[in-house]
Amino acid sequence: MNFNNSVDEKNGTLLKELLDAGIEINFKIKENMNSWGVRPTPQYEIVAPNGESNPEMLAHELLHIKMKETGFLNTNDIESIFNAGNCRFMSSEISNIQNNLQHMRMLPMFVEMGYPADKFVANHGKDYFSDLVPTIAINAGLMKLHKNTGTKPPIALVTSYLNIAIALKSQELEQEITANRTIDIEELKDVMREADRELFDTLYEHVTLWVEKGGNNNYSFYNNINYCLYNLGYPPEYQWEEWLIKP
């Protein structure tokens, strides 16, 4: 299996490590796909959108497999634990959060393999974070509106705060590695804090702890986020609409 001729000296070491551990990995080209990806089947299956060689994206998907094989709970398991009955943000966002949590772990490993950091999200295009600034402006503005009118924020807005905290931390990690300051992270954090300092700082602190603590215990990440949102007074997802209209 040639993996699109994408095996090179750097990712070949990781591929051998996974195969030697007894992990079965298939590879397919699926022209209806927009990007590379990996999905668990009876064996892992790495898919590519075409026959072009791309060692960086092969390394990226192999690292996803390594994460799952070294303790990172898969999305189905997390969704069976954290759901609308107990999750204090939109449980439908768990899949997206899972991917971003893995990326924060994988980026340093990708660079240690010898690849440039700016190739890590080549799968998503060079403008991966280009919508971050307007997203922050919109969500901070909405939160200010709720604060000024004394109304409670919808669950989608609180969930956006979590996603933005993760995105800013991801960008901060990339800037630390590349020293490429494409956006001013501190300025964007201040925009979020101005709208709701307590919510943003609490979420950002727990995302930072996930990064600094190391390991792959993503269960603890969701448990900690849920607990901090509980302490801030936010209800489980299924009770949110009722909570909004309570005095």
Closest CA to 218 of 69, 61, 96, 78: 78
Q: Are residues 24 and 89 in the same domain?
A: no
Query: Is residue 123 predicted with pLDDT exceeding 60?
Result: no
- Decide which of 69, 86, 101 is a domain's last residue: 69
SS3 content of the chain, % helix, strand, coil (to 5): 65, 5, 30
pLDDT tens digits along 44-83 = 899 998 999 999 999 999 999 999 999 999 999 999 999 9
How many Å apart are CA 178 and CA 127, to the nearest integer? 16
Q: pLDDT band for 130, please (50, 70, 90 cuts).
A: low
- Decide which of 69, 96, 123 is a domain's last residue: 69
Residue 39: phi and psi, rounded to 5, are: -140, 145
Query: Is residue 86 predicted with pLDDT exceeding 90?
Result: yes
- Decide which of 19, 51, 69 is a domain's last residue: 69
Q: Count how many domains the chain has.
A: 2
Determine which of 31-35, 119-123, 151-155, 200-204 has the lowest per-residue pLDDT on average.
Answer: 119-123
**What single string gives the DSSP state of each residue in 60-93?**
HHHHHHHHHHTT---HHHHHHHSSTTT-SS-GGG
Report the chain's mean pLDDT, rounded to a whole number: 90
User: Structure pTM?
Assistant: 0.84
Q: pLDDT band for 150, please (50, 70, 90 cuts).
A: very high
Structure tokens given for 153: 């924020």
How many Å apart are CA 79 and CA 94, to the nearest integer? 7
Q: What's the confidence (pLDDT) of residue 126? A: 44
Range of the domain at 234: 75-245
Q: Are residues 201 and 227 in the same domain?
A: yes
% of residues, the chain, pLDDT over 70: 95
